[in-house]
Amino acid sequence: MIEDQVARPRWYALRVVARRPSIGMCHRLGALAGPVRVPAVDAAGARSVPEAPVMPLRAEYVVEAVLGRRGIEAWVPVESVWARANRYHRRARQLVLHPMLTGYVLVRMAPGARWEPVLACPLVAGVVGTHGVPMALPDAAVARLREAQCHLQADAQSRLMPTRRVYRVGDDVEVLDGPLEGTVMRVVAIAGDLARVVGPLFGGEVEAEIAVDRIGAV
């Protein structure tokens, strides 16, 4: 048992160069460039919704993408915040992802794995450790980060929901206005300010997207 625990892959923290990468650099590194949308994760690390908020171009995300392309598991813990979608529409907002640990990327490495491919990434400044030896992160700390990411993303989405009628994926909700007012449906996904719901209508089951502020928990 002890040997298995020692031999399993562990998470480590990489220090990332704190500068905004250019789109040209991203293309040279084979990373994603520009704002993209990425799957959200729940506390267990599983994907929870089809689409997550907008992810602006940052060094942390570029390193995550580059290492992923090289077959190395990397993760940037994120939180979601509401921001203006553009300067022309004051009320138009979108969820934007920001790193919870600015300037750091977590990487999962197996014992004896080579660090050269990781440290060769131009935006990686080094790995957190002591006396030149990488220091593995406690499993409990990684679990808390995953849980915090899940709760922070859920909290950001719930800010648009009716007070005392906050809901999550899998909950039954009631349509509060419009032609479907009073209809009870089930939430199957939440992406930004839209909820995907399914429910009975005209003798069958229909699927629709409704603004999160137009439905509330039953």
Would you list the domain boundaries of the chain?
2-158, 172-217
Strand pairing class (204-211; 194-201): antiparallel
Per-residue pLDDT of 5-62, as tens digits, reads 457 899 999 999 866 666 666 666 666 544 444 444 444 444 443 344 555 678 888 8
Which positions ≥6 away from 51 have C-beta within 8 Å?
A: 37, 39, 40, 191, 192
- Fold match flag (2-158 vs 172-217): no
pTM greater than the 0.75 cutoff = no
The whole-number average pLDDT for the span 182-204 is 81
Per-residue model confidence as pLDDT tens digits over 93-109: 566 777 888 899 999 99
CATH number 2.30.30 is the correct assignment for the domain at 172-217: yes
Q: Which fold does the domain 2-158 belong to in CATH?
A: Alpha-Beta Plaits (3.30.70)
Burial grade of 106 (CB within 10 A; 0-12, 13-18, 19 or more): buried
